[in-house]
Amino acid sequence: MTKSINVYEVGPRDGLQNETAVIPSATKIALINILGRAGFATIEATGFVSPRWVPQMADAAEVMAGIARNPGVRYAALVPNLRGFDAALEAGVDEVAVFAAASEGFSRKNINCSVAESMERFTSVMAAAQTSGIPVRGYVSCAIACPYEGRVAPEAVRDVALRLLDMGCYEISLGDTTGTGRPDDVARLLDAMVADMPASRLAGHFHDTGGRAVANVERALDFGLACFDGAVGGLGGCPYAPGAKGNLATRSLVERLHQLGYETGIDIDILAEAEQLVAGIRAMPEEVLS
């Protein structure tokens, strides 16, 4: 049987949050609606985060209220704390994600607390999610390198991932936040990870700064990973990782997986339609968010 790979679409949240132009809520809704027809099991639609830190996500509730929900799709949102979770729950999300870092420097810059403190914040989120029956996905950023501290030890990534799994996350997405990782780096990381947790609980999240994201996916496939994050049109990057280019473009990911003989269930033609909308977003006047 042909093996199936889950492509997890993060463009509407992780992608758009890095755009500096003001993107109307209606445009975000239109993008999510197109992606909802493309065959994704999950779409990360928005983030219930502080508009002071991520102004692009200030309309999270409006976006969730406006989308046409495909019954075959789970619509997810990033939440940094219990306040964010409560707002996401009220908006009717199907899944939430929490965001930790494997390096202290990035954690303090990105979410303004230490790694240990971030875990404490997630305790209440995990408890509320369990009570509400909401699945929680965990992100571990700087899984290969940190923009402030350099290379990150695989053991540090493993320890954070294990903590998130113990807290109740169903899956951990490992982020090459700086986009500097190479296939050998991915192999070293996953050697440490799969020794202590099943590959089925891991996902790959590769930025394409160095043009190696697809090669990194291929190396991760060797370790049994069956879920990878993509952002339509290669949207994204990271506002806290200077110089980091966008996420791996979903179409590049899907086309390569299909070439390798994997099933994804993604309709390339509908994905191309979404890419056209992304091109329009990138052409918007630079009315910069503040």
Catalytic residues: 238
Phi-psi sector, 243: left (phi>0), alpha (psi -120 to 50), beta? left
19, 59 in Cβ contact below 8 A? no
Residues in the chain: 290
Helix (H) or strand (E) segment spanning residue 218 = helix 213-222
Q: Can you read off the two tokens belonging to residue 2? A: 């042909």
Distances (CA, A) of 139 to 44, 90, 169, 173: 12, 23, 10, 5
First-last CA distance in the chain: 51
Phi (first) and psi of residue 74, to 5 degrees:
-95, 130
Please report, to the nearest 10 degrees, the dihedral formed by the alpha carbons of residues 281, 283, 287, 290 taken in order: 50
63, 29 in Cβ contact below 8 A? yes
Rounded Cα–Cα distance for residues 217 and 88 (Å):
31
Find where tokens 């947790």 sit.
197
The 3-class secondary structure across 1-29, one letter per residue, is CCCECEEEECHHHHHHHHCCECCCHHHHH
